[in-house]
């Protein structure tokens, strides 16, 4: 396996993030407890004595986080940048007999046709925004999606959850139907993780289709997030270690933020 560690440069990505990856995304995420994820959201809502009726799931992917919301009676919608992921989400909703409005959209320029009581954004979606200006655009857009007093709950991954070395680390998985090679490093000068995915997806006749994607994610300290939330018109109610309701110390690998639209 070749190493990228000395060049500091990457070959251009062959596909947009989550386009080729969409075909095996649900297989890779099969171990995620999405019902438990919704249980956690509802525990936060109960803690703050808030009872939403409508919810928008941002960066919803293939809908695995959205469908449990619809199944529990929320008026649920989902937005994602990847058309390939949304095709899978719509098919899954149809098979489950659930009515969910899935739309393609960018976190930096969200649609404004509807208002929701609750906006959710999990699975590192905001880490993909690489500047404070982009994060601010997302917060402003989410505020416009929410009814007055509506809640915004989201998570961010912190450096302790990832490889923090400038040297590339390697992970691979050889599973039924696909092989995945994951290369990543952390650029301390910009607080950005660079992630390169190489996928070999099984096709008919014993052949494999090769796809490559580049992903980049940025770390945002909690104080930066709070400042940008307040500037966008939110009140930050609490920062929690993800899957907990108590207050975070700040060093946890993943943090969940609970904010209310002013």
Question: Domains along the chain?
Answer: 1-31+159-218 (2.20.25.110), 33-158+219-261 (3.40.50.150)
Distances (CA, A) of 251 to 168, 185, 240: 23, 20, 11
Least trusted range by pLDDT, from 45-54, 75-84, 132-141, 182-191: 182-191
Helices (H), the chain: 22-28, 34-47, 67-71, 83-96, 132-145, 222-232
Cβ-contact 168, 5 below 8 angstroms: yes
Cβ-contact 140, 232 below 8 angstroms: yes
Cβ neighbour number for residue 109 with a 10 Å cutoff: 10
Distances (CA, A) of 193 to 155, 162, 216, 231: 17, 8, 6, 26
Residues paired with residue 172 on neighbouring β-strands, in sequence order: 181
- Dihedral angle sign, alpha carbons of residues 221, 255, 112, 262: negative
The residue whose two tokens read 């998570």 is 155
Q: Tens digits of per-residue pLDDT, 169-188?
A: 888 889 888 899 999 998 88
pLDDT of residue 199: 87
Query: Mean pLDDT across the stretch 199-214?
Result: 88
pLDDT of residue 24: 78
In angstroms, the CA 52 to CA 68 distance is 15
pLDDT of residue 12: 38
Please name which of 226, 230, 37, 52 lies closest in space to residue 140, comparing C-alpha atoms: 230
Is 23's pLDDT higher than 80? no
Is 39's pLDDT higher than 90? yes
Is 1's pLDDT higher than 80? no
Q: Tens digits of per-residue pLDDT, 72-125?
A: 999 999 999 999 999 999 999 999 999 999 999 999 999 887 999 999 999 889
Query: Mean pLDDT across the stretch 125-130?
Result: 95
């Amino acid at each position: 396996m070749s190493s990228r560690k000395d060049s500091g440069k990457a070959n251009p990505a062959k596909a947009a993030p989550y386009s080729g990856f969409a075909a095996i995304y649900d297989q890779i995420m099969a171990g995620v407890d999405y019902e438990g994820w919704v249980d956690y959201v509802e525990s936060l809502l109960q803690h703050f004595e808030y009872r939403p009726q409508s919810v928008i799931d941002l960066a919803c992917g293939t809908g695995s986080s959205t469908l449990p919301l619809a199944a529990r009676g929320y008026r649920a919608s989902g937005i994602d940048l990847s058309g390939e992921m949304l095709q899978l989400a719509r098919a899954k909703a149809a098979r489950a007999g659930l009515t969910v409005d899935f739309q393609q959209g960018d976190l930096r320029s969200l649609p404004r046709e509807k208002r929701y009581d609750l906006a959710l954004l999990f699975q590192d979606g905001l880490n993909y925004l690489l500047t404070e200006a982009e994060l601010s655009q997302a917060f402003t857009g989410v505020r416009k999606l929410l009814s007055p007093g509506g809640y915004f709950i989201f998570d961010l991954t912190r450096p302790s959850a990832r490889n923090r070395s400038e040297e590339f680390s390697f992970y691979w998985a050889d599973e039924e139907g696909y092989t995945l090679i994951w290369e990543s490093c952390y650029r301390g000068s910009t607080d950005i993780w660079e992630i390169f995915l190489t996928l070999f997806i099984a096709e008919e006749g014993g052949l494999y289709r090769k796809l490559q994607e580049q992903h980049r994610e940025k770390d945002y300290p909690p104080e930066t997030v709070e400042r940008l939330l307040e500037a966008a018109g939110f009140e930050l109610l609490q920062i929690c270690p993800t899957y907990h309701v108590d207050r975070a110390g700040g060093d946890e690998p993943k943090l969940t933020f609970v904010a209310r639209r002013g």
